[in-house]
Amino acid sequence: MSGRKSKQKGKRGEREVATMLRAIFPEAKRGIQSRGGGAEIADVEIPAFHIEVKLQAKPNIRAALRQAVAEAAPGKHPVAFTRADRDDWVVSMRGEDWLELVGQWWAETGGRAA
């Protein structure tokens, strides 16, 4: 795939993820890197998370998560949204972050499912 087509595909993936996240986070939007910002800016911006998005034929989930971890600001949970062509989105995060978030949710709900 040419560089231009690859960039367009990446932008399309970022728009898809931002649209999905708006169901919970109305302020979700593509990161400023799409307007010339630095590489450390998340692909999609929402509170408390650094989100990297990879839409590729065969995305490397671990590499995407490593990038999110490396670029996340202190206090932000790194998350990778990856999708292979014509497949479903996969969301990955470190186990320690998942446990922290689920632990908070569990404590807030008193152990009752929402």
- Write the pLDDT tens digit of every residue in 73-94: 999 999 999 999 999 999 999 9
Rounded average pLDDT over 64-72: 96
Band of residue 110 on the pLDDT scale cut at 50, 70, 90: confident
Q: pTM for the complete prediction?
A: 0.86
List phi, psi (to 5°) of 23: -65, -30
Distance from C-alpha of 114 to C-alpha of 80, rounded to nearest angstrom: 25
Distance from C-alpha of 80 to C-alpha of 89, rounded to nearest angstrom: 10
Domain assignment present for 15: yes
Domain assignment present for 114: no
Rounded average pLDDT over 66-76: 95
Distance from C-alpha of 108 to C-alpha of 85, rounded to nearest angstrom: 38
Asked if residue 33 has pLDDT above 90, the reply is no
Domain assignment present for 69: yes
**What is the tally of structural domains in the chain?**
1
Band of residue 38 on the pLDDT scale cut at 50, 70, 90: low
Distance from C-alpha of 9 to C-alpha of 86, rounded to nearest angstrom: 12
Asked if residue 108 has pLDDT above 70, the reply is yes
CATH of the domain at 24: 3.40.1350
Domain hosting residue 20, numbered range = 3-109
Contacts 24+ apart (CB under 8 A), 1-9: 9/55, 9/56
Domain assignment present for 39: yes
